[in-house]
Amino acid sequence: MTASIRRTVAFPGISMEHTKNMLGAYNGHLKQIEQRLDVKINHRGDVFYIDGELDAVERTESLLKKLYEEATSAQVSADALHLMIQGSQTDRSANQEHTGLDDVWLQTRKGRINPRGSNQKRYVQRILQSDISFGVGPAGTGKTYLAVAAAVDMLERNEIQRILLVRPAVEAGEKLGFLPGDLTQKIDPYLRPLYDALYEMLGFEKVAKLIERQVIEVAPLAYMRGRTLNHSFVILDEAQNTTPEQMKMFLTRLGFGSRAVITGDITQVDLPRGQQSGLAHALRVLENVTEIHITHFHSRDVVRHQLVQKIVEAYDGWDDAQQRLNAQERAERKAKQEALIAENDSAADQQHQSS
C-alpha cells in the first residue's frame, strides 16, 4: 500500500475574489478535484494543504497552480476545470516520456486553439508537417476537431485554397431511405459534426459564404471518385466505415500542394458484418511508409465529459476480457482435441499389438 503524503501550496497575497474564483461555488472546484484525483484538500487563507498518494498529490499541486493562473480575473467554469484535470494526466505523461515536443497551437478567427497533452501536440505537429496523417482512437480525443482547426489555420494563412471535409455515408443502425429529401439532404446529418466545428471556429456567416464560394466543401466519400484535389486540405472523418477499396480511392485523390488527414476509431465500425474496415487495412498496409504519420489516441486523451473516459476504459476492459476468455476456450478445445487424438492413437496401437 502506498503511503499518504502531504504537500503545501501557498499563494501569498491572493485576494478574496481570486480565492473565490479558485474555489468555485460552495468550494465546488476543490470537491471536484478531490473526487477525481482521490485527494483531500484543506485551505486556510492563502495556503492549501493536499493529502493523498504521491502521484495524485503532485498532480493536484500542479493543478492548483494552473487553477490559480486561470482564476486571476474570472471564475473558472466546471467544464474548463474538467479539461484542466484531464490535461493534468496527459501533461504528466508528456513529462515522463521526455517527448521534447515544442509548444504548438492553431489560430482561428475565433481565437487560439491549444492542443492538450503530448498526443494532441504530436498529432498537430504531424498534420502541419506531413502530407498524409492518421489520427486513430476513441471518441472525444479531439481527432476531428484538431484536424478541422489545422485546416482553418492553414486556410487563414493562405497555405491552401480549399477545405474538403469528407465522410462515408454508412448507416449506423438507421436507414437512409427513411430520411426526407434527396441524397445530399439524407447524408447531411452524418456531416453535422464537421459543420459544428467550422461554425465554432469561423462563425456561421463566414462558413456559409465559404461554402457558397466552394472554398469549403462538405461531401460524402462517394463524391470523391474521379477527382484530383490540388492545393486543398482534405479530412476523411469516420474512416473506420470505409472499405479498403474506398480508402485506396481516397488516398489516391491527393494532388499537388494538398494535405490529407484521416481520422477514425477502429472499435466503432458500422460496416456490414464480415466487411473489412478500410482504416484497419490501411494502418497495416501503410505502417512502413515513413512519410505517412499515424497518431494513436487512448482513453487518457479523452477531453469530453469525465464519464466518456470511464466508458471507453470499461469497453476496452470488456473487450480485453472477452479476448482472453475466447483464447482460453480455444486453448481448452485444442487440448481436448489433442487428448482425444492421443487416446485414439493409443487405442489403435493397442489393437494393432493384440492382433
Mean pLDDT over 169-198 rounds to 64
Q: What is the pLDDT of residue 173?
A: 43
Give every CB contact of residue 293 below 8 A, 6+ residues apart in sequence: 126, 129, 130, 132, 133, 134
Mean pLDDT over 76-87 rounds to 79
Count of Cβ atoms closer than 10 Å to residue 78 Cβ: 11
Residue 198 falls inside a structural domain: yes
Do 49 and 193 belong to one domain? no
Q: What is the pLDDT of residue 104?
A: 81
Q: What is the pLDDT of residue 314?
A: 78
Q: Which CATH number covers residue 133?
A: 3.40.50.300
- The 3-state DSSP class for residue 295 equals strand
Query: What confidence tier does 96 reach under pLDDT thresholds 50, 70, 90?
Result: very low
Residue 45 falls inside a structural domain: yes
Instruction: Extract the C-alpha cell encoding 261.
Output: 488527414
Q: Which of 97, 128, 147 is the last residue of a domain?
A: 97
Do 182 and 298 belong to one domain? yes
- The range of the structural domain enclosing residue 293 comes to 106-308
Q: What is the average pLDDT score of the chain?
A: 84
Residue 234 falls inside a structural domain: yes
Burial class (CB in 10 A: 0-12, 13-18, 19+), 44: exposed
Do 47 and 134 belong to one domain? no
Do 192 and 246 belong to one domain? yes
Q: What is the pLDDT of residue 306?
A: 60
Residue 333 falls inside a structural domain: no
Do 89 and 153 belong to one domain? no
Q: Which of 48, 80, 97 is the last residue of a domain?
A: 97
Q: Tell whether the torsion through CA atoms of 88, 91, 93 and 96 is positive or negative.
A: negative
Residue 350 falls inside a structural domain: no
Q: What is the pLDDT of residue 243?
A: 94
Give every CB contact of residue 90 below 8 A, 6+ residues apart in sequence: 116, 117, 118, 119, 120, 300, 301
The rounded distance, in Å, linking the Cα atoms of 286 and 260 is 14
pLDDT at 217 over 80: yes
pTM: 0.65
Residue 351 falls inside a structural domain: no
Residue 326 falls inside a structural domain: no
Question: How many domains does the chain contain in total?
Answer: 2
Listed in order, strand segments (DSSP E) in the chain are 5-10, 40-44, 47-52, 106-108, 111-113, 132-136, 162-167, 216-220, 232-236, 259-264, 292-296
pLDDT more than 70, % of the chain: 85
Residue 209 falls inside a structural domain: yes
| 244 or 321, which is more confident | 244
Do 81 and 138 belong to one domain? no
Do 146 and 268 belong to one domain? yes
Do 130 and 243 belong to one domain? yes
Instruction: Extract the C-alpha cell encoding 342.
Output: 492421443
Q: Which CATH number covers residue 65?
A: 3.30.1370.10
Do 93 and 110 belong to one domain? no
pLDDT at 178 over 80: no
Q: Which of 75, 97, 119 is the last residue of a domain?
A: 97
Do 124 and 71 belong to one domain? no
Q: What is the pLDDT of residue 175?
A: 47
Do 162 and 248 belong to one domain? yes
| 259 or 2, which is more confident | 259
Query: What confidence tier does 181 reach under pLDDT thresholds 50, 70, 90?
Result: low
Query: What confidence tier does 174 reach under pLDDT thresholds 50, 70, 90?
Result: very low
Do 148 and 259 belong to one domain? yes
- Count CA atoms closer than 13 A to 274's CA, side-chain side: 0
Mean pLDDT check: name the lowest of 221-225, 250-254, 263-267, 285-289. 221-225
Query: Could you read off the pLDDT of 5-20 as tens digits, one per residue?
Result: 899 999 999 999 999 9
pLDDT at 93 over 60: no
The rounded distance, in Å, linking the Cα atoms of 216 and 163 is 5
pLDDT at 79 over 80: no
pLDDT at 102 over 70: no
Query: What confidence tier does 117 reach under pLDDT thresholds 50, 70, 90?
Result: confident
Q: What is the pLDDT of residue 286?
A: 96
